[in-house]
Structure 1
């Protein structure tokens, strides 16, 4: 059997599209084959966890039961009492499996038995639902729609992170014929663009070029006696940044493509991030579903909490603290290692400095033209690439191994 991990090879797409054809034909006629879609989705999710990954499949089942119980119990609690303590408990319990998976490598050489492919993205969805139940933007949750949202097959492994209300609206409102034809055309376009990104450009930068540049950086380090910054290390920084973008953006395009074929407008994850004019603009373009999730469910809530309890007087200091907390959590989410944590703090500091600069620029009436905009893009690009060098963990290998 060919590798049936999501979007691993062209054979996966061939089999998947063939299986989706009946669903696509029905959608073109204004009908969603819900039972057939469920069967196909379940089959492909099952194939993700066959063979050596069967334990991850068991963990996924246990995880879903856990999250369903938390959501239903909290929903009932909110309807009857709406206590703040119950809300915090529900959020902590929803995050607990992911926290255990992330922290286990710190204390053990063996990965957690609770881990499975996609646990982070399912956790983002679960916590989102709990928080929106608290806010009242989600009035009620039923088991099957919640599981359908949680286990949406195209995005289960690595996102993009959709929103429950937006997803349900797409699912229940089948597009008309012309809209669906446009969605299929867009889906095919995204699929071929994903092939270019992931299997050609991502392969070139990550598999062909990156090992050579890494070896050159290691050799130059030895020649320089372990001191100084080599040109090969700078080359590694740019090469890894290109690989990271094309590989992940290609993967995200595949998820969006298959979603469109299934009649669901899953949001895009990338919007020309290397053309960002500042670091805040970058986070409005890079891994957007994640950055917007952190903005809405971490940054804004931390800001509101500080303001409500009057912990900090100056608004500018409130946002600075919120940025630090937001990106520190994001760093820990990637992993409990120094370079992920430093990566998060690096971006928090970059945004704080950027905000200070924008305030100064506004007061000073500095010039703004195509040359200053090009300079801003160039500076942002290099700052981001430096952060990706930290994120890659290569400095850990270079300095400490």
Structure 2
């Protein structure tokens, strides 16, 4: 039987293969046995499906990448207690980031062609590798087993776009078997998330992305500038982005649940957020929390420890701009991703200033009406940021 190339969770046949492959694993878990050899087989099978046919070179790049990261993480674990610990730490973080950096930069030198090192999911695998090095330095990961690391790195349900799990949580579940009642609870949650994901991605995501979006995009281009059609595009694209990505995330989490893993959720009603900071605690949560824990908090600690800025507020604002610029650049080295990052950093800094102002002026009203107004305002501001993120303004104003 020949398996064609398929993008994860993108077409019905993928789910047929997925459910058939997971059935023996589910039976084993039901009877209290985690068949690790079969789990490894299913992982290889679905990685093969993802990189079959014309995408074979991405599969080769993945193999080289895994070898490189095992070498980098393993060497750091061995050398982490040597002299010049800080220099060694930064060196190995850079080495872990190197393949991702090459894949992001090389298209500029290849006339826009994808990097030979690039493959589906390289960003999320890199986040896992950097996380390992940082937690080894902190003493939170005290043992390193390269097979366990590969199992974590190549966990196929979340390999392409997350959610981004944490090694210690994943390792704990991988080395234990749930009770029958606990596994049935996993299955119940998995079935709910699977059907909710089908509604999000293949019904609502399709409606907003394939039906409405081309219409408002065409009208916006015909009008040639700021128009009501462009406003419509902004809201339609925002809905499409949410339902498509949230649907994918639900599929990844559901698949993990069927395999007996409780990976973190990625979305928690983000459009009811009353402010931008709350929004980022609800939107693409695993990515937000990863950047918060491994970039922002560590940068803040370094700035405050070295007393780079006298004011904690200034240090915090610098941290926000660094954080969101990195997030923007991670999405791509284009002006609209960078502006998107600056926009969110500015908004969060202003939000913090507003919170400090409210604390000094307790007479300001705070009730259900002001909360609803804040939710509505945040929603519109976020949708505008997604218009920037979409790159459609680049098409509309610069490539006419």
Q: Which residue of 2 aligns with 1:210?
A: 213
Work out whether residues 106 and 336 of structure 1, in 8 Å CA contact, stay in contact via their aligned partners in 2: no
The residue correspondences of 1:136-151 to structure 2 (distance < 5 A) are 136-151=139-154
Give the secondary structure class of the aligned counterpart of 1:270. coil
Give the secondary structure class of the aligned counterpart of 2:19. helix
Q: 1:322 to 1:99 in 2, by over 3 A?
A: same
- What is the CA distance between 1:284 and its match in structure 2? 0.1
Give 4+ residue runs of structure 1 displaced > 4 Å after superposition.
Answer: none
Distance 1:332 1:189 in 2: 35
- What is the CA distance between 1:30 and its match in structure 2? 1.2
- The normalised TM-score by structure 2 is 0.97
What is the aligned counterpart of 2:100 among 98, 101, 104?
98
Distance 1:220 1:71 in 2: 53
What is the aligned counterpart of 2:259 among 237, 258, 262?
262
Give the secondary structure class of the aligned counterpart of 1:5. coil
What is the aligned counterpart of 2:187 among 184, 189, 206?
184
- What is the CA distance between 1:196 and its match in structure 2? 0.3
1:396 partnered with 2:394: yes
Residues matched between the structures, number: 395
Structure 1, residues 199-239: CA drift from partner, whole Å, max 9, x if none?
A: 00000000110010000011112xxxx5xx21110000000
Distance 2:330 2:102 in 1: 11
Distance 1:285 1:198 in 2: 19
Which blocks of at least 5 consecutive residues in structure 1 are unaligned?
A: none
1:319 partnered with 2:316: yes
Distance 2:297 2:349 in 1: 16
Give the secondary structure class of the aligned counterpart of 1:79. coil
The residue correspondences of 1:123-202 to structure 2 (distance < 5 A) are 123-202=126-205
- Root-mean-square deviation over aligned CA pairs: 1.0
- What is the CA distance between 1:79 and its match in structure 2? 3.4
The residue correspondences of 1:64-83 to structure 2 (distance < 5 A) are 64-81=66-83, 83=85
What is the aligned counterpart of 1:381 among 379, 382, 392?
379
What is the aligned counterpart of 1:219 among 218, 222, 225?
222
Q: Which residue of 1 aligns with 2:26?
A: 24
- What is the CA distance between 1:358 and its match in structure 2? 0.8
Distance 1:374 1:2 in 2: 49
- What is the CA distance between 1:3 and its match in structure 2? 5.0
Distance 2:294 2:82 in 1: 24
Q: Which residue of 2 aligns with 1:6?
A: 8
Work out whether residues 5 and 51 of structure 2, in 8 Å CA contact, stay in contact via their aligned partners in 1: no
Q: Which residue of 2 aligns with 1:371?
A: 369
